[in-house]
Structure 1
Amino acid sequence: MKIVDVNLFPFSAKRVYSTVTAALGGVAHKEGGYAFSDFAIIELTSDTGIKGYGEVSDIPETMTMPNGQNFTIEHLETYLANQLIGKDPFQIEELLQAYPEKNMVDIRPDGSMLDIVSCGVDNALLDLIGKTLNVPVYNLFGGKKKDKIWVSWVVYIRDIKYLEAEIAEKVKEGFDAFKLKVGIDPKQDEERLRILRETAGEKAVIKLDANSGWTFDEAVENLKRLEKYNPAGIETPIPFLDVEGKAKLKGRIGMPILEHVHTLEFALELLKHDAVDVFNISAAQAGGVFKARKILALAESAGKPCLLGSTVECGLGTASQLHLSAGSSLVTWPSDLIGPKMYVNDMLNAPHAWDQNRLLVPDGAGFGVEVDPQYLQKGI
């Protein structure tokens, strides 16, 4: 089987509210936050006429092409066509060796990275392979161990007057796990955590995420002050790349440390220093399901519990994450797959199914979802 055609389609999704997170130095990642996210839908067609789809998620304004020219959907389409047309999609590992391409990754101020183009290619290849074999993607990796994935609602940094209503609404929907973004204003962080705990109840699982916003000393001080609200853990409390600092921090605070793990090399570094308690793994960061599964396997060999992180994917990206999680016994922490509820619009012809705050793993060939045909047209 060969790939005979590559098409890309732009898609823009509106968030239910503008989302703000902290960044290195305790400042906002983007002033005013993000109200929209831009995506690209990758369509691969085989010589048998079967089509596979992948999502390039949450494309940053800073992305450029490998030759330095400005990023456009048309330029990326040409680039991927040159790489993929004539190739066998079953040679997925060889095809993914072209990534990460340094100009086409989303590199954050703290050094964390999202390899979103590789992830989109990975998704389209796996969807094409699954549809060709008429099996779900999770069956390509040993089968499904769970039908539903536990999701934590992510509470972004916004005016505190909106918080209680947001949490009350999610509790009514059945959410019993939350991730609270912190790291800019310590006093506001504490007040927001207090409201979250009171509104969600004592049994709710609450993760904190400082997004590299604190120094070591600030992390110690802030987390000791917040302990009384019984948070389940803290994600990226200090700069992402400070592995030794997190190892020292483990002995100074009374809660687990969670960290994004985007490569096997970084995973080994964290394990070598015993720096974190929980791995946060996502397809978008790792460069796709195929690469993320290798990190999950390493975590399993070390007995390290995991959750699935997110760059707030739309429907296709969320489906790939669900198939990634379905086959792992160590994804035991609530994951951050809120895209289906964070966007006003989506690219799928049918929404993802929920059971309260559990996302159902879609069955069917490939990733088990279909793109709405109205978004697969040039020039819209």
Structure 2
Amino acid sequence: MKIIEVEAIPLAVPFSRPFAFASGQATAADHVLVRITTDDGLVGHGEAPPRPYTYGETAGSIVSVVRDLFAPVLIGADPFARERIRADLGRTVANNAAKGAVDVALWDLVGQACGQPVHVLLGHAADDVAAAHMIGLGTPSEMVADALEVNDRYGVEAFKVKVGRDLAHDLAAVRELRRELGDSIELYADANRGWDADTAVVAARRLADFHVTMLEEPNPADDVLGRRRIVRESPIPIVGDESTISLGGVARSLLDGDSQAISVKVARTGFTDSAKIVGLCEGLGVATTIGNQIDGMLGTVASTALGCGLRSLARHPVEVTTFLLMTDDVLTEPPTIADGRIAARQGPGLGVTIDPDKLAHYRADR
């Protein structure tokens, strides 16, 4: 089996409402669908959500690097040779979302060729996982309304609260969320590097009073001494996310004392490097969770597969609800969240089918 075609198709799907966080705001899913076809007629898919304010990638840069640099490496290659392909793509620095989508598409192909779902190939730790919901920035009442709707409609009982702006406003929102949701609901916070170190130390102590379980990216990680001081003085674990976007970056962050847990994102490290990161963290006794890059339906399916594949990840709620922001998508069958859980697809590979009419409607290059 050889790869004969590689496509990078930009999409533009509107959101029902903006999603805001300390480092930016998303108003539409300007994602890129990576599609890889083999000479056996199999087609693998991956989703690349660009986040220029975090990783520097845009939809245009993803399309360009996949088309001009990655496709010549991939065409003629065996999809099973993922480590060889990984090394070849690694000669191009950065471009994490583009590489992640290619890796997901390769695993999709391998699963189809083997007649097995991706989560089974990864290890089949579970068939479903608990879902977590990200609450974007807004007024306290808006954030509470969002959480209550998702809790009531989907049974979700774990929430990541976006913070990282004015501390008084952030704490007011967390206070209201805890009061309205009750003590049995898990709350954890993500500042997206929005605070300075002094503010983050105070915030961590106050958040602990509301039984917030973790604090993600409290300040810019290049404030090295400030981040280490936060880790030392925080009563809750500090989670590395956008400061830990590679295997080596995770190792440095943990060994240097910059993080105490790691958020893994399929959109950033695919299945291959995500599994390597989880293995490293397991060896060091460090917890890992699955984060969300404001993924669409395809990214949600991929994150669920990773969570169901690896035992360390299956233990924690997986952030899988951002596709609900989208007014539509290109998959024929949306993900389903029920009773606070989401199940892995049982079909070969990712088990997804692209609707050709929706793809034609939402592609941004025509």
Q: Tell me the TM-score normalized by structure 2.
A: 0.89
Residue in 2 that maps onto 1:55:
47
- Measured after TM superposition, the shift of residue 136 of structure 1 is 1.2
Residue in 2 that maps onto 1:307:
289
- Measured after TM superposition, the shift of residue 357 of structure 1 is 2.2
8 Å Cα contact 2:57-2:97 kept in structure 1: no
Measure the CA separation in 2 of the matches of 1:59 and 1:214. 20
Q: Quick one: which amino acid aligns to residue 18 of structure 2?
A: S
Q: Quick one: which amino acid aligns to residue 364 of structure 1?
A: G
Residue in 1 that maps onto 2:9:
9
Q: Is it true that 1:221 corresponds to 2:202 in the alignment?
A: yes
| Structure 1 vs Structure 2 CA RMSD | 2.3
Residue in 2 that maps onto 1:322:
304
* Residues 306, 74 of structure 1: alpha-carbon distance in 2 compared, 3 angstrom cutoff: closer
Deviations 1:135-156, CA, capped at 9 Å, x for gaps: 1122333x31111122221111
8 Å Cα contact 1:176-1:204 kept in structure 2: yes
Measure the CA separation in 2 of the matches of 1:231 and 1:59. 26
Measure the CA separation in 2 of the matches of 1:17 and 1:130. 35
* Residues 330, 372 of structure 1: alpha-carbon distance in 2 compared, 3 angstrom cutoff: same
Measure the CA separation in 1 of the matches of 2:68 and 2:21. 34
Residue in 1 that maps onto 2:231:
250
> 1:20 aligns to what SS in structure 2?
strand
Q: Mind listing any 5+ residue stretches in structure 2 that lack a counterpart?
A: none
The 5-angstrom pairing of residues 230-269 of structure 1 reads: 230-242=211-223, 244-260=225-241, 261-269=244-252
Deviations 1:8-54, CA, capped at 9 Å, x for gaps: 322222223211111xxxxxx33xx2211211212211111111111
Q: 1:365 aligns with which of 344, 348, 352?
A: 348
Q: Quick one: which amino acid aligns to residue 156 of structure 1?
A: G
- Measured after TM superposition, the shift of residue 177 of structure 1 is 1.0
Q: Report the count of equivalent residues.
A: 356
Q: Quick one: which amino acid aligns to residue 9 of structure 1?
A: I
The 5-angstrom pairing of residues 97-246 of structure 1 reads: 97=87, 98-99=89-90, 101-102=92-93, 105=95, 115-141=96-122, 143-173=123-153, 174-242=155-223, 244-246=225-227
Which piece of structure 1 moves more, 55-64 or 6-15?
A: 55-64
8 Å Cα contact 1:148-1:358 kept in structure 2: yes
> 2:41 aligns to what SS in structure 1?
coil
8 Å Cα contact 1:37-1:59 kept in structure 2: no
Please state which structure has a larger fraction of its residues in helix: 2
Deviations 1:94-130, CA, capped at 9 Å, x for gaps: 212213734x63xxxxxxxxx1100111111111111
8 Å Cα contact 1:283-1:292 kept in structure 2: yes
> 2:11 aligns to what SS in structure 1?
strand
- Measured after TM superposition, the shift of residue 86 of structure 1 is 1.4
8 Å Cα contact 2:140-2:176 kept in structure 1: no
Residue in 2 that maps onto 1:293:
275
8 Å Cα contact 2:62-2:98 kept in structure 1: no
Q: Is it true that 1:19 corresponds to 2:2 in the alignment?
A: no
* Residues 218, 96 of structure 1: alpha-carbon distance in 2 compared, 3 angstrom cutoff: same
Which piece of structure 1 moves more, 220-229 or 318-327?
A: 220-229
Q: Is it true that 1:281 corresponds to 2:272 in the alignment?
A: no
Q: Mind listing any 5+ residue stretches in structure 1 that lack a counterpart?
A: 23-28, 106-114
* Residues 208, 304 of structure 1: alpha-carbon distance in 2 compared, 3 angstrom cutoff: same
8 Å Cα contact 1:278-1:306 kept in structure 2: yes
Measure the CA separation in 2 of the matches of 1:276 and 1:217. 17
